[in-house]
Structure 1
Amino acid sequence: MSNRFLTLWDNARTGLWLVPSVLIVIGTGLAIAMLQVDAGYGSEDQVRAWWINSGSGEDARNLLSTLLSSIITMASMAFSVTVVALTLAANSYGSRLIRIFRADLRTQVVLGTFAMTIVYCLIVLRSVHGDAPTAEVPHVSVTVGTVLALICVLALLVFIQGVARLIVADEVVRRVRRELDDTVTNLAPRCEATPEHSPSDLPEDFDEKAERIVLPYEGYVQAVDYDEMVAWAERHDAILRLDFRAGDFIVNGDRRVLVYPPTGRPQKTREEIGEFIVSGDERTPTQDLEFAIRHLVEIAVRALSPGINDPFTATVVIDRLRGALSRAMGRSLPPETLRDGSGRVRIYRQVSTYEGLLDAAFHQIRQSGSTHPAVLIHLLEAIARIAEHTHLDEQRRALMRHARLARAAAERDVGEPEDRHDVELSYRRAIRACESAARTASEHPSPGSSASHPSGTSLSQSPEPISNP
């Protein structure tokens, strides 16, 4: 249930309607409250502060009408600027990154402030009669409307300043990186987690006898309620294997849930298990570890396209990826198996791996930047820096593999010998960094590292001899 709620919350916070709707309700309540205050304010002869509105009903109506038309004009300008900013962002950084702009709290608050002020002024305006004497005019309500209008002016200035920063490439990368950091932070530290790879103890006749359940929905898997699914498997004394993970696209009719032993009632099982799977038209970062990585990669790939040709943005993306991946090396990824309270394995599932995270981060950038030596060199330097944060041979082998791929790309697509030589030097530094991290890990093994287990594989088998350029 919590994952379903997180998915709904992500959809709400990345929309432009939630905060404005709340502020509209606040504006309505404020207008009613101020009119009630004015209703019991006192007689006409009561002395008011200098900043409280004074004048006849006609004066108040003229003021509110002027404020209302001005605020509507400012709101139209703000909405127009928002649409233009979203258009520029979609063209430069990809349409999928619009969710980052929609999730900007400052934009939502400014648009909501305009909407709240418009609703407030409309409600107060309809309560002011043009021929009303001064004593019957809601002076406090009109004064509050004037204050809200001044706040709207300041909000417009803040909004324009924010939009001017929002479309800068470095700011876009920073915002996407922040979402990636939140995802990495939610992972458990290595010392508190179980090993990533649990031994497979599926029954020998699992594939033959397991009941394949048809998935009831089509779309991207946004979240899976594993706790409820484990409880269901425990109640039915069953073992489940999920041949998908959050972020995968499923089609109505896919048989990617296997139940052992068969329940004998596939339709009912389908309905019950379907309640634990949240799917939708878009991927979300709720359980998808590669979601924000792909958004950062999309920025770099577009920057390296021939139409834009901006390798500097690509290097900024590599820097942000290096920071997030370095932190991820010290975190434990979700385990492949889930157990019930008695310790029995109930669910086998597909999960993200360190190799998969690195593949999602580096493959497309290397492929798009294979003709840019600066990008390849920066990528190799990032690999060398990430190696300093590794704890597992699995992590270091994946880094060395990407280092070899980057060198191969340079040998294939970089024409200048000196540039290839610089790439080769960066490659050697990356390999040495991985080997040095492996030696450090073997001398000072950390909890959960392969060096602390007799069955761990040796890193020395992976690197290939380095030839002189």
Structure 2
Amino acid sequence: MNGTLRERLEALGEAFWLRPGMLVLAGVLLGEGVVRAEGTEWLRSILPEGWIYAGGEAGARSLLSAVAASTIGVAGTVFSITVAALTLASGQMGPRLLRNFVRDGGNQAALGIFLGTFAYALVVLRTVRSTEEGAFVPHLGVTGALLLALVCVAMLVWFVHHVASGINVETVIALVHNDLCAALARLSLDRPDPPAPPPPTGGQVVALPEGGYLRALDEAALADWAAEAGVAVVLHVRPGDHVFRGVPVAQVVPDAGGDAVERVREALTLGPRQAAAQDLEFAVRQLVEVGVRALSSGINDPFTAMAVLDHLGDALCRLCGRHLAGAAVLRDGRAVLFRRVTDYDGLLDAMFHLVRQSGTGSAAVLIHLLDVLAAVLTAEDNPGRRAALLRHANLALAAGREGLRDRAALAALEARHAALPGGSGPLPSPS
């Protein structure tokens, strides 16, 4: 699946109205179908004897009206609870995590089932006629409304549990961690890309007349065109970057005229916010935001920051033995597309810089950061990556020496640093 298609599917997942709208449509079609099937023996035989509604026109109107009124009322309550949960999550864990709550299929399905039941009850209710109007009572339709009402009761109980557990910070961290691991598995390689030659210089400068975040990049299509045209494309942006109007986003060497501008514009998908489809650091930023907010003076929750560090370390351990994409895309052995990519050093910087800077005065966070780095160092055997991990360990030690006033805490931090794999001694037990 190419990046553009994945980005469009991701955008559909962020459309909160999509699932509820589909369930409302399903309710309308089901109501119409049940009314049209009234009187068929095979459909009646599905339900046990005595379950089919056997009352008259007045009772059918009352039951359907009660189901419609109650479900639309509960739907409003469900929507209010969802908005309250979003507000709480935005204040405690950051507004960028609202994406995960909006994409939550459970929240969308709960609202959709109540609205779908309301639409079903209305469709069936309009067919009920008294003796003066032609005497028609949709017994199967009323029975279906009762069954859907019971489903709504069960859904309401489940929804309360789902929202209560969904706003738990540990649950949110685990969900974002799963997104990060999926991105690492999707965007990393079993074998390293061949070394990239130096990108060419000069050529045709390409700028866009509009701005926005680069949500997706169709690298395959752009590389195929460059190979056919005999040119090389040097990109200055990568997914997740903000593209500014009139600022060059690429160079085409040699000059390929107006066709180059059109091809580059077609390959770049811009939007008002970032997307996770091709941006490896997207989930990292979400996790880091939770940790940084937890370390703010208003919240002061180092345990949440430590949980974030645990999940970041686990993601790095999953990356052991795998390789990040190279800077060049080849066609027939020739580099035709030069792109900006996330390297291992950049990934570590995105993971640890902000947490370390926010936790300078917290001995527990800095010591735990060294513990996480020690665990990753134990699993990682790449010399270059080990050097990058040790660089962050040195930065954590320097931050502790500058920010910690407790001598015992500083001594524990220095002992952790000295005991890193490859250091002077075994790793001390956690204090």
Q: Same fold (TM over 0.5)?
A: yes
Q: Which of 196, 213, 216 is 1:220 aligned to?
A: 213
2:339 pairs with 1:352? no
Query: How do 1:383-402 residues align onto structure 2 when only pairs under 5 Å count?
Result: 383-402=373-392
Contact between 1:355 and 1:394, CA under 8 Å: does it hold in 2? no
Inter-CA distance 63–236: structure 2 relative to 1 (3 Å threshold): same
**Rounded Cα–Cα distance in structure 2 between residues aligned with 1:275 and 1:220:** 15
Q: TM-score, normalised by structure 1?
A: 0.86
2:302 pairs with 1:311? yes
Any gaps of 5 or more consecutive residues in structure 1?
437-469
Q: Percent identity?
A: 36
Query: How do 1:180-329 residues align onto structure 2 when only pairs under 5 Å count?
Result: 180-190=180-190, 192-195=191-194, 198-202=195-199, 206-207=200-201, 209-263=202-256, 265=257, 267-329=258-320
**Rounded Cα–Cα distance in structure 2 between residues aligned with 1:219 and 1:131:** 63
Q: TM-score, normalised by structure 2?
A: 0.93
Q: How many residues align?
A: 422
**1:179 partner SS:** helix
**Rounded Cα–Cα distance in structure 2 between residues aligned with 1:71 and 1:373:** 52
Cα displacement string for residues 343-376 of structure 1 (whole angstroms, at most 9, x for unaligned residues): 1110111100011111000000000001000000
**Rounded Cα–Cα distance in structure 2 between residues aligned with 1:270 and 1:344:** 22
| Partner in structure 1 of residue 413 of structure 2 | 423
Deviation at 1:29, TM superposition (A): 1.6
Contact between 2:212 and 2:242, CA under 8 Å: does it hold in 1? yes
| Partner in structure 2 of residue 444 of structure 1 | none
**1:38 partner SS:** coil
Cα displacement string for residues 362-411 of structure 1 (whole angstroms, at most 9, x for unaligned residues): 00000000100000000000000011222422211110010000000000
Deviation at 1:268, TM superposition (A): 3.5
**Rounded Cα–Cα distance in structure 2 between residues aligned with 1:226 and 1:51:** 59
**Rounded Cα–Cα distance in structure 1 between residues aligned with 2:304 and 2:134:** 62
**Rounded Cα–Cα distance in structure 2 between residues aligned with 1:387 and 1:212:** 43
**Rounded Cα–Cα distance in structure 1 between residues aligned with 2:25 and 2:424:** 57
Cα displacement string for residues 248-279 of structure 1 (whole angstroms, at most 9, x for unaligned residues): 1111211120111112x2x4421221001111
Deviation at 1:170, TM superposition (A): 0.6
Deviation at 1:193, TM superposition (A): 3.7
**1:181 partner SS:** helix
Any gaps of 5 or more consecutive residues in structure 2?
427-431
Contact between 1:85 and 1:163, CA under 8 Å: does it hold in 2? yes
**Rounded Cα–Cα distance in structure 2 between residues aligned with 1:48 and 1:241:** 69
Contact between 2:418 and 2:425, CA under 8 Å: does it hold in 1? no
Amino acid at match of 1:212: V
Tell me which moved more, 300-309 or 325-334. 325-334
**1:246 partner SS:** coil
Deviation at 1:2, TM superposition (A): 2.7
Amino acid at match of 2:290: I
Query: How do 1:169-180 residues align onto structure 2 when only pairs under 5 Å count?
Result: 169-180=169-180
2:153 pairs with 1:153? yes
